[in-house]
Amino acid sequence: MKRDYWIYGGMGVMALVGIWVLFVGLPRWYPSEGVPTPTNEAAGRTTDDELVAATLFYISDDGMRLVGFERRLVQHADPAVQGRIILEAQLAEPPASLLSPIPPGTELRAFYLSDQDAFVDLSAEVTLGHSGGSLEELFTVYAIVNAVTTNIPAINAVQILVDGKEVDTLVGHVDLQHPLELNMQWVADPDTDATQSNPVDQTDQL
Amino acid sequence: MTGRLLVACCLVCLATGSPHSFPDDPLTLVTPQDRRPLPTVRFDGRRLVAVSELATPFGLTIADVRQPGRLTLMREDRIIVLTANEGLVSVAGQLVALASPPLERDGNWYVPIDFIGRALALVRDEPLELRPRSGLVLLGAVRVPQVVARYQRAGRRSRLRLMITPQTEHVIEQSANRLLITLDADALDLVLRDMRPDALVADIRAVDGRPALAIELRDGFGSFSATTEPALGGAVELIIDLQPRPVSTTRAAPSPTPPPGSRGGAGARPLAGPGTGPAALIPGETVGDAMLPLMAELAPPRRIRAIAIDAGHGGDDVGTRGPDGALEKDVTLAVAQRLRNRIESELGLRVVLTRTGDSAVSLDERAAIANNDRADLFISLHTNASVREAVIGAEVFYLSLAEYGEEAREAGFTGQLVPTVGGGSRVLDIVPWEMAQLRHVDHSARWAQTVADELSRRVPMSPRGLQQAPFRVLVGANMPAVVVEMGFISNPDQEAQLTSATFQSAIVSGLLQGIIRYRDEVEHETQPLDAGSPDGSGRIP
């Protein structure tokens, strides 16, 4: 009878060890190689060497322009991964006092490269949550296009997809039937535009 | 045996695994004092410059710190650290991304050419700029306008368009077989597109060592006329029309010789000499076929007979929505109907509406309706919205070309021989949908400016009242076309205005006057100028 207790006890200990190995040990020993997420340097998890300055775009105080805003993001040697990191930061909450040109709830479904063109696949919230104005649509489109092309010189142009499909426009104005190149027409010039109060040399970290 | 030798060579090359570098076109360093070449090499498809070539002209010191795979450069107290095969360099404490990593080969260091504008500019006190398309490196206070030249061919005539940014004074001089355009600058940042020799022009090229552009002419060249027009962003567009020698006229035209050394700038008058261009045609004269293609392809419509009005959105697509619930689709339809009534009653022109009720119409279908009904002008009406409630004002847009590539543009306007009723054949221009607006964009710009002017006299305008944008509804319109954003419905005051009869009437008056002014201008231009000029010479005083 006493021997049975030892057998059952041993089996229980082995089961607990197996569970620990499966759910704790293996994930620690073989960490996921998925896309790195933006890292908060202030939390002490990264060093300066792992961060890179990236310019993201938000709506200016007067609502008439985009303004560049520098943030420090995790750097990655692969442009496809770096593009994803930049876009996830662009889609995240904007800095205080600035407004995001991307409708809330918009998610990045996919980001991939073909030669020098990037394809940005966004969730349907980018159209469903949009104000519908042409100026806002220009801001939405060129915040995405410029965030990618400004920060990753290897990428020449960006085509925006919605829910995995090509679209004519987001909300009825800007032609999205082909990749768009960097266009700073909608971005405030920090040298000449005195009205914008959030120049690119302000920095923030994600 | 030879095959084996080749295979062996290939294997050796693969084994070494290091592609060779080849000399590439040098960059040109422009300073207030002089110009000098900066040699570059092409390595594995990348254009690089040796760090040793940059040291002297940019005052860099290569630190004698021997660390494998690292190079430290100093400019006074500012330090640049390069790491081999690492695309980020440290410049005065900042990380800067380069197009490709620095390269160390046989003890020599190479950097991509964008290192000059991205990294070196941060350690220099004076302005430093790389213009990669023209291969210029600008150091210090130098005046180097960008000149984007486009050469277009229409029948036997040609047009050279020079977009000069920023606006710069210029002089055009004509010698025996050359037109020389000299700019008041230290150098030219010239981008030349679409240049193919033809019967009038043998070559267009920058003049070595001078801020000038030379057009080498052929014997078929007869005369030229030049105009300048202000462009967006402080630029000016210089348009030079080149005409052939008259082939067959019943009366010989006088020798066309524009005044040598004519000086121009933004707003300069046309430099048409007597007998130049369509402006010099005399009624009753028979003119050679050589004159016809230009009228068909470059000239604006002779008559404005029909206007297409597009009420934006409709059906399930309500467009923007005001804080009190006003819908863009209702405002645009109301204004479209008012405008139609005014045009029909006051101008007697035919009006095409892309929708007459609350129905959904796709963007391409709207342009197709205008094309199929042979409208001469297309206007798409919208109301805007902003997340900033304070934003107000009307805006007028015409199509921007930057988003449509050179290859696509060249693909347009291909002639196809098609049979005609009764025998024979004719050449038909097949224009891809996406290229339809491109041939009209100059006139769209002009009409947009006119509409913006007229609206600004009647309703509040946005600070950016006239703009270019890649709007889909404009792409397929085969006529001058504009989008008018009448105001920001997201602003409570503007919402009330946009739904009021008074404000809508003011908008309609501005649009109507814009149509009248544009119609008068283009129809006047297609008439013989001698009829209106005091001396009958066709000169514009």
List chain B domain ranges: 19-139, 146-298, 306-523
| Domain that includes residue A47, residue range | 41-205
Please tell me the distance from the alpha carbon of residue B85 to that of residue B257, in angstroms, as a whole number: 60
B114 phi/psi in degrees, rounded to 5: -70, -10
Q: Are strands B78-83 and B146-154 parallel, antiparallel or unpaired?
A: unpaired
Number of Cβ within a 10 Å radius of residue A82 = 26
Q: Domain check: are A3 and A27 in the same one?
A: yes
Predicted confidence at residue B426, as pLDDT, reads 59
N residues, chain B: 541
Candidate from A85-89, A171-175, B251-255 with smallest mean pLDDT: B251-255
A54 with A117, same domain: the answer is yes
CA distances B228 to B169, B170, B257, B264, B295, Å, are 11, 10, 19, 7, 20
Burial zone of B17 (CB within 10 Å; 0-12 exposed, 13-18 middle, 19+ buried): exposed
* Model pLDDT, residue B43: 81
Please tell me the predicted confidence (pLDDT) of residue A98.
Answer: 86
Looking at the fold, whether A22 and A45 belong to one and the same domain comes out as no
Residues 459-478 in B contacting A (C-alpha not used; CB under 8 Å): 462-464, 467-473, 475
pLDDT value at residue A29: 59
A112 contacts: CB under 8 Å, gap ≥ 6: A80, A118, A119
pLDDT value, residue B301? 46
Using the beta-carbon criterion (under 8 Å), do B469 and A51 form an inter-chain contact?
no
Dist CA B377 CA B443 (whole Å): 10
CATH architecture of B146-298: Sandwich (2.60)
- The answer to the question of residue A8 being in a domain is yes
Q: Is residue A46 part of a domain?
A: yes
Q: What is the pLDDT along chain B (541 residues), one digit of tens a residue?
A: 445 544 444 444 444 444 566 778 889 898 988 888 999 998 877 889 999 999 888 989 888 767 788 899 988 888 999 988 887 888 888 888 887 889 888 888 999 998 998 889 888 888 898 887 778 899 988 988 888 787 777 666 788 888 888 888 888 888 878 899 999 998 888 877 667 778 888 888 888 878 899 999 888 888 888 888 766 556 778 888 888 876 543 333 333 333 344 444 433 333 333 233 322 222 233 233 333 333 334 444 458 999 999 999 999 999 999 999 999 999 999 999 999 999 999 989 999 999 999 999 999 999 999 999 999 999 999 999 998 999 999 999 999 877 765 544 554 444 555 565 556 655 555 666 777 888 888 899 999 999 999 999 999 999 989 999 999 999 999 999 999 999 999 999 999 999 999 999 999 999 999 999 999 888 776 554 333 333 333 322 2
Q: What's the distance, CA B81 to chain centroid?
A: 40
B19-139: CATH, from 3.30.457.10, 3.20.20.140, 3.40.50.150, 3.50.50.60: 3.30.457.10
- Tell whether ipTM is more than 0.85: no
The answer to whether the CB of B47 falls within 8 A of the CB of B115 is: no
Residue A107 touches chain B, beta carbons under 8 Å: no
Q: Where residue A10 falls among pLDDT bands split at 50, 70, 90?
A: confident
Count of domains forming chain A = 2
> Phi-psi category of B510—alpha, beta or left, where left has phi over 0 and alpha has psi -120 to 50?
alpha
Q: What is the pLDDT of residues A21-31, one digit of tens each?
A: 666 666 555 54
Selected residue of A72, A117, A135, A146 to mutate for chain B interface (largest B Cβ count, 10 A) = A135
What fold is seen in the domain B306-523? Aminopeptidase (3.40.630)
Quick check: A134 and B471 CB within 8 A? yes
**Burial (0-12, 13-18, 19+ Cβ within 10 Å), A81:** middle
Interval B387-396: pLDDT, tens: 899 999 999 9
Q: Is the residue at A36 inside a domain?
A: no
A-contacting residues of B 503-522, CB under 8 Å?
Answer: none
* Band of pLDDT at residue A145, cut at 50, 70 and 90: very high
Is the CB of B485 inside 8 Å of chain A's CB atoms?
yes
B229/B521 Cα distance (integer angstroms): 15
Please check whether residue B378 is in contact with residue B482, taking contact to mean a CB–CB distance below 8 angstroms.
Answer: yes
Reference B51, options B36, B64, B38; nearest CA is: B38
The H-assigned helical ranges of B267-423 are: 292-297, 328-342, 363-372, 406-411
The position carrying tokens 């037109």 is: B179
Measured distance CA(A97)–CA(A120) in Å, rounded: 27
Contact B98, B115 (CB under 8 A): yes
Distance CA B298, CA B159 (A): 9
**Interface contacts (A, B; CB < 8 Å):** 111
Place of tokens 């001469």: B376
Does A71 share its domain with A4? no
> In degrees to the nearest 10, what's the CA dihedral of A73, A203, A158, A49?
-30
For the whole prediction, is pTM greater than 0.90?
A: no
Of A51, A132, A175, the CB nearest to B403: A175
Q: Does A175 touch chain B (CB under 8 A)?
A: yes
Domain identity same for A60 and A162: yes
What local confidence, expressed as pLDDT, does residue B226 receive?
84
The answer as to whether A158 is a domain residue is yes
User: SS3 of B170, please?
Assistant: strand
Which pLDDT score, from 0 to 100, does residue B328 have?
A: 97
Residues 6+ apart with CB under 8 A from B154: B293, B294, B296, B297, B298
- What is the C-alpha to C-alpha distance for residues B182 and B179, in angstroms, rounded to an integer? 10
pLDDT in tens, B259-274: 344 444 433 333 333 2
Token pair listed for B315: 């059906």
Q: Length of chain A in residues, anyone?
A: 206
